[in-house]
Amino acid sequence: MKLVFAGTPEVAVPALDALLASGRHEVAAVVTRPDAPAGRGRRMVASPVAERAEEAGIEVLKPLKPRDPEFLERLRQIAPDCCPVVAYGALLPRVALDVPAHGWVNLHFSLLPAWRGAAPVQHSIMAGDEITGASTFLIEEGLDSGPVYGTVTEEIRATDTSGDLLTRLAFAGAGLLAATMDGIEDGTLKAVPQPNEGITLAPKITVEDALVDWATPALRVDRVVRGCTPAPGAWTVFRGERLKLIQVTPVPERTDLAPGQLAVGKNSVHVGTGSYAVELLWVQAQGKKPMRAADWARGVRIGEGEVVGR
């Protein structure tokens, strides 16, 4: 089939690579979000998908909105059979959805209908799921509600951050998306409507969502930290300033600390929660680089009875 691939961040690049390597389909063009300012200099930078497409010598389309008349006209000229999508980042209007004969097929990083929305991986970790995966589905105008072509499953490991899990899903999902294109082309794959039961939503995680509540159990604190790493980054407050929490680990044997209470050992920093303590392993103070929590604690000279969270 002739394909137009739509995607923007680094997590979409493995799927583009898989389609380019398949040898079975032609990736005629790539659609991605416009260049955006990045880094300290805030210079305009192309998306990872745009950079990969340019390396491969593929036409890159960067509409401000996918309903722009110039973009729609170029899409009709290319006349793709199907448009595979991975984390494109913009809502596709009906006028665009109707262009390819086989529609737009999205790779979504959950087992639909669970975790429909922008942050499925973060929510699956924060909810304590043991299994997640990726799904390919036909895009409709609803939120991730279209019929599903196929799925792959992935175990959520006890120490997984959302970054770790998303990396694994990006590569597993790339193979799924390529196989879905093959199945659509040869007519062996039919999309199956999603069930009406088991629908959960995964809206974007805000900075406010990433604030750790020390009154919740240790397992919840650990899940919030892992789910919000690397972005937007879990955090708490210490002496009136934000302290980013990069890695913690539950310490079930320690139950003597009140929620938010700090206890500093020779090489450890423990914090009380609503159940038992967690150990801070890596933190980042405001305006500083990430560091081991024990080094941070020595530097700030934590006093007896000090707390985090207020």
List residues forming the annotated binding site for (6S)-5,6,7,8-tetrahydrofolate: 110-113
Residue 108 bridge partners (DSSP): 135
Residue 301: C-alpha distances to residues 265, 298, 304 (Å): 12, 5, 10
Amino acid at 135: S
The two counts, helices (H) then strands (E), for the chain are 8, 15
Residue numbering of the annotated binding site: 110-113
Which pair of tokens denotes residue 262? Answer: 């700090």
The DSSP secondary structure of 166-188, one letter per residue, reads: HHHHHHHHHHHHHHHHHHHHHT-
Cα 65 to chain centroid distance, Å, stands at 22
Are 66 and 92 a contacting pair, CB within 8 Å? yes
Q: Where are the alpha helices (DSSP H) in the chain?
A: 13-22, 48-55, 69-78, 94-97, 120-126, 162-186, 218-227, 293-300
Are 84 and 61 a contacting pair, CB within 8 Å? no
**Rg (the chain; Cα; Å):** 22
